A = this chain, B = another copy of it.
Amino acid sequence: MSGVNKRVLVLGGDGFCGWPTALHLSSIGFDVVIADNLSRRTIDAELGIDSLTPISSIAERLRAWKRVSGFEIGFERIDIAADYEALRRLLERYKPGTVVHFAEQRAAPYSMKDARHKTYTVDNNVRGTHNVLAALSELALDCHLVHLGTMGVYGYDSADLELPEGYLDVLLEGRDGAHHRRSILYPTNPGSVYHLTKSLDQLLFQFYAANDRLRITDLHQGIVWGTQTDQTRRDPALINRFDYDGDYGTVLNRFAMEAVVGHPLTVHGSGGQTRAFIHIQDTVRCIAMALENPPARGDAVKILNQVAETHRVRDLAALVAKLTGAEVSFVDNPRREAAENSLAVSNATFRALGLQPILLEDHLLSETMDIAAQYADRCNFDAIPARSVWTPNHNPGVVREQMKEAANA
C-alpha cells in the first residue's frame, strides 16, 4: 500500500460496527475521519433504552483513543442523507482513498415498527447511499467505496444452494433454444424494510459501478456477535455498544442478557431459522482486508460474504442454556419468514485472504456472558421483548402475552 492514499472516511463511525472499525483502521496506519449524525444515540433516546455497556460521548472516545494510541481520528457531525452539500464538501476537502459506509439504520424490527419507521429507514438509507455515490461521481474522486451490506438481501430460501458471493450463475433459454450461461446479481429476497434498503443499495452500486466506473465493495455480513475488539478494550472510554433490546439487540446478545437476568431465552417460532454469524473482531479485520483489496476501475461491484459460520437459532439457545442453566421458551414469531431453513454460505474470498474466523463455541462465554454479567445492573428488563410485528394483521398482544407468560413461567 506504499504511495497509496491512506485517508479513510468512516460514515457512521460512531455505531456498533463503525466505531471499532475506525479504531482498527487507525491502529494499522490509516488516517481516519468519522462522519456521523449520532442517530444511533438519538434512537436510544427515542426508544428509552441504552447500550448495556456505558458508552462515552464521541468526543471522549476520540480523546481516549489519542491518549492510548497516539493516533488522532477526526470527527464531523454530518447527516449524509439530509445534507448532500456537507458530504460533498467533506469529500472534496479530505479526498479520502476509501470511504467505509456504515451510515444506515440497521435494525430490522425498528424498520418494521410502523409507517413512520418504515419511511425513515427507506429515506435515510437510500438517500444516504445515493448521496455518497452522486458525490463521488460529481467530484470524480479516485476513491474506493466499501459498504456494509447484509446476508439478509439473499433471503433464506436458497433451495439447496451454497449462497455465492453476490452473483449467481444461471442458465437461460434463448430464442434459438440454446442454453446461455449468465452471471446475475443474486435475486434478492429481503425479509424486512431494513433488509430491503440493502437490496436497493445493491442496485445503486451496480449502476454507479457501470456508468461512473466507481470502485465499490459490498460486504454481505452475517449477524454480528461479541462486543469488544483489541482496540475497544484498551480504555473504558473506548468500549463498544452492547444492544439487547427487542429492536437493536441481536440474537446472541439477547440470549446472554436473558440468561444473566434469569429470564427464559425467548426463541421466536420454532427457532428453526438458520443464520450466518461473525464476531465483531472479525468484522473489523474483514473490512481492513476489503479496503486493501479494492476492485479495479471499471470492474463490477465486488461482493463478499462477511461471515464465519452458520447456526440454527434453537441450537444457539440450547448452547446458551447448557452453559448457563437458563430455560428456553418458544414464543410467537413476529416476522413473516420460513419456520425452518437451511443455509450454506460461501466466504471463499475472505478465506483466501487469510481469514481464520473466531468461532462461536470458543468465545461465547468468555466475552458475551462476561459483558452481560458485568453490566447486568444496567439492564432494562422491559426493553427485552420484541414488539415490532411484520404484518398489519399480526396481533402484537399475542407476542406480549407470550413474553409475559415466558417471563413468569
Contact = CB atoms under 8 A, between A and B. Distances in A.
Interface in A167-220: 168-176, 179-180, 182, 184-185, 187-188, 190, 193, 196, 199-200, 203-204, 206-207, 210-213
A130 B159 contact: no
A162 B175 contact: yes
Contact of A131 (B119, B127, B182): B119
A110 to B, nearest CB: 14
Contact of A187 (B185, B190, B390): B185
Contacts of A126: 122, 126, 200
Interface stretch (A11-19, A35-43, A133-141, A401-409): A133-141
Given A84-B119, A137-B115, A174-B161, A392 B212 contact: yes
Copies in the complex: 2
A123 interface: yes
A391 to B, nearest CB: 6
Contacts of A336: 210-211
A319 interface: no
A400 interface: no
Report the 8 A-B pairs with minimum CB-CB distance, sorted nearest first.
A170-B170, A184-B187, A171-B171, A115-B138, A115-B134, A160-B174, A122-B130, A118-B134
Interface of A: 84, 88, 114-116, 118-119, 122-123, 126-127, 130-131, 134-135, 137-138, 140, 159-162, 168-176, 179-180, 182, 184-185, 187-188, 190, 193, 196, 199-200, 203-204, 206-207, 210-213, 336, 344, 390-393
